[in-house]
Amino acid sequence: DGGITQSPKYLFRKEGQNVTLSCEQNLNHDAMYWYRQDPGQGLRLIYYSQIVNDFQKGDIAEGYSVSREKKESFPLTVTSAQKNPTAFYLCASTTSGEYGYTFGSGTRLTVV
Amino acid sequence: AQKITQTQPGMFVQEKEAVTLDCTYDTSDPSYGLFWYKQPSSGEMIFLIYQGSYDQQNATEGRYSLNFQKARKSANLVISASQLGDSAMYFCAMRESGGSEKLVFGKGTKLTVNP
């Protein structure tokens, strides 16, 4: 079945460490997105990519980095520069001509 | 910049009754798309309904309907015959124009269905 796989589901990080969240899709979608969700805040866009080897900053890109070396993969690295990384992270994808978006099941990151 | 406003942080409804969740949006683009998503406590985002800005009819999907009032820039979600399983967070979102296909989300409404 086609879909988006995010891993891990839960992630714990010590302060000062970088961590990478995985997002893989087998939908042949061109565009992929990373959102952050905090309680009462809704979803905010971190980074997005519309094509391999290209990506753009979203509204809250500081302290995060991404890569898009393959169409299927869009990993997000939460760096030590991110002041408050504890949140729920969602990956999504879509493609031109479709109005729908597919979301992954999310990764809950906790800094300990 | 495009913006979505959901003014109801929480809503309560009795089982089997209808409920309306409010959403207003702001955009200067004549072409846009509006979405509603449901997010249960598990965290997954479940697509409910879509309305295109040029659609003449209000969208409907089973028990969900979208009350689209273009002049007022509102896109309220109506859930008929509420069920206990409808208890969740509900998000209104708009697809941003300009080719990025970005979704801009409101802050959400937490719906609780009481037996």
- A87-A41-A23 Cα angle (round to 5): 45
Taking the CA of residue A39 and the nearest CA in chain B, the distance in Å comes to 9
Q: How many CA atoms lie within 13 A of B28 on its CB side?
A: 1
Q: Identify all chain B residues contacting A56, using CB atoms and an 8 Å cutoff.
A: 100
pLDDT of A81: 87
- Alpha-carbon gap, residue B59 to B61, rounded angstroms: 7
| Confidence band for A1, pLDDT divided at 50, 70 and 90 | low
The residue-averaged pLDDT of A51-75 equals 97
Judging by DSSP bridges, how do beta strands B60-61 and B74-79 pair with one another? unpaired
* CB contact (8 A) between residue B91 and residue A90: no
Contact between residue B67 and residue B20 where contact means Cβ atoms under 8 Å apart: yes
Which residues lie below 8 Å from residue B57, measured CB to CB, with a gap of 6+?
Answer: none
Rg (CA), chain B: 14
Contact between residue A36 and residue A88 where contact means Cβ atoms under 8 Å apart: yes
- Alpha-carbon gap, residue B75 to B66, rounded angstroms: 6
Asked if the C-beta of B45 comes within 8 angstroms of chain A's C-beta atoms, the answer is yes
Q: Identify all chain A residues contacting B95, using CB atoms and an 8 Å cutoff.
A: 99
pLDDT above 70 coverage of chain A, percent: 96
Contact between residue B36 and residue B66 where contact means Cβ atoms under 8 Å apart: yes
Per the rule left: phi > 0, alpha: psi between -120 and 50, beta: everything else, B43 is: left
Residue A39 predicted with pLDDT over 90: no
Residue A48 predicted with pLDDT over 70: yes
The residue-averaged pLDDT of A75-90 equals 94
- Alpha-carbon gap, residue A17 to A59, rounded angstroms: 23
- Alpha-carbon gap, residue B43 to B12, rounded angstroms: 20
Q: How far is CA B106 from CA A20, A42, B15, in A?
A: 27, 6, 25
Taking the CA of residue B104 and the nearest CA in chain A, the distance in Å comes to 8
* CB contact (8 A) between residue A94 and residue B101: yes
**What is the per-residue pLDDT across B20-51, written as a single tens digit (0 to 9) for each?**
999 999 998 888 999 999 999 999 999 999 99
Alpha carbon A84 to chain centroid distance? 16
